Amino acid sequence: MLAVVCPGQGSQTPGMLAPWLELPGTADLLDSFSAAAGTDLVTHGTTSDADTIRDTAVAQPLIVASSLVSLRTILDGRDASEVVDVTAGHSVGELSAAAVAGVLDDAGAVGLVSHRARAMAEAAAAAESGMSAVVGGDPDEVLASIEAAGLFPANVNGGGQVVAAGGLAELKALAEQPPARARVIPLQVAGAFHTPYMESARAAFEQVARGWLATDPRLPLLSDADGATYDTLAPGSHGHGTAADVLSRLAAQVTAPVRWDLCQATLAERGVTAILELAPGGVLAGLAKRSLKGVELVAVKSPDDVEAARDLVARHSVVGGAGTAEVTA
C-alpha cells in the first residue's frame, strides 16, 4: 500500500527547482503556478538565496509548487487516484496533499497557499515569536516542559521530536533548561506557527478558503489535526469526505498543532508498505524511518529520484495493482 506524503516549511533549499526546469513542460507548469501565486516562483526556485526563500510568503508557495511538479513528473499524465492509496502533508504540505487527493487543482493549491502564506507572514511580523525543535527526552516530560515554559507544542512529529513555539524569551529559557535527555534546537522560521499567535492569519485565511473552488477528495486524505481520514470525519457520507470539511480544517490548522505522530499512526494502521515523499523531500522520510519500521521509503529531492519513485509506485500501489502498475516516461 502506497502513501504519498508532502513536506512542510523548512524543507526548501536555494536552487531546488533548477533541475526540474530541464524537463519538458515544467517551465509552462511553473509559469501557471507563478501566475496563481502572484510571485515569480521560477526566480525564487532557481536564483533566490536562502534568506529570500525563508520568507514565509515565498517559502510556502515554493514548497507546494515543488511538490506538485515532482508529483506530475512521476505520474506522467496519470491521475493520482489511479495509483495513490492514501496521502497526507505536514503543515503547508497538507495543501499539496489536498491537490494529490483531487480537492484542489494544482494551480488552485498554489494560489490558495499564497493567501495562507501572506496572512501568516503578516501575523508573524505583528509579534516577535519563533519555534524550536525539542529532540529526545520522555514525550510526556517534553510536553510538560513546553507547557511550563509558557510555550505551545506546535508540531508533535513522532520519532522523538516535538516543536515548541511561542515568545522568544520563553524559547530561550527552554533552551537554557531543556527537558531531561533532550536538545532544544532553534528553527529558522519567522513566527510561532500553529499557535494562538497566528489567530489573525487563521481568520483572514478562513475567509478566503471558505469560498475557494474545491471538490470532494478522490482518495483517502489524512488531517493534520488528528490523523483521521475525511470519510471518518463525515459519517454517512459517500466517498472520501467533503471538500467543505477539508477547507475548514485547512483554515483551522493555522492555529492548531500539527499531529504528524497521529498521521504516521494512521498510516501504520492502514497497512502502508511504502512512503513516497514528494519534493523537496527528506524530512518526512527521516521521521518515518524512525517511526514506521519496515516501510520502504523514497524521498524525491531532484529528477534523479523519479525512476526510484516510479518503481516504488509500481510495486506498492494497491489501488493501481501492486506489482502490475506501470508509470512510464
Active site residue 194: yes
Q: In terms of DSSP H, where are the helices of the chain?
A: 26-37, 41-46, 50-54, 56-75, 93-100, 106-126, 139-148, 168-176, 199-210, 230-233, 243-252, 260-269, 283-291, 306-316
Give the pLDDT confidence score for residue 236 in this predicted structure.
61
Domain 2-124+196-316 and domain 127-186 have a common topology:
no
Strand-pair partners of 86: 3
User: Regarding beta strands 161-167 and 129-136, do their DSSP bridges make them parallel or antiparallel, or are they unpaired?
Assistant: antiparallel
Give the pLDDT confidence score for residue 286 in this predicted structure.
94
Predicted model pTM: 0.94
- Please identify which of the residues 44, 90, 115, 194 carries the catalytic annotation: 194
Percentage, residues of the chain above pLDDT 70: 96
Give the pLDDT confidence score for residue 159 in this predicted structure.
86
Give the pLDDT confidence score for residue 325 in this predicted structure.
39
Say whether the peptide bond before residue 280 is cis (omega within 30 degrees of 0): yes
* Residue ranges in the chain modelled with pLDDT below 70: 234-238, 323-329
- Please identify which of the residues 91, 96, 132, 291 carries the catalytic annotation: 91
Q: Please tell me the distance from the alpha carbon of residue 114 to that of residue 98, in angstroms, as a whole number.
A: 15
Q: Dihedrals φ, ψ of 229, to 5°? A: -85, 155
Give the pLDDT confidence score for residue 234 in this predicted structure.
66
Q: Dihedrals φ, ψ of 214, to 5°? A: -155, 155
Please, what is the Cα angle at 295 between 66 and 292, to 5 degrees? 90
Does domain 2-124+196-316 sit in CATH 3.40.366.10?
A: yes
Active site residue 237: no
Say which CATH architecture domain 127-186 belongs to: 2-Layer Sandwich (3.30)
Give the pLDDT confidence score for residue 237 in this predicted structure.
60
**Domain boundaries, given as residue ranges, for the chain:** 2-124+196-316, 127-186
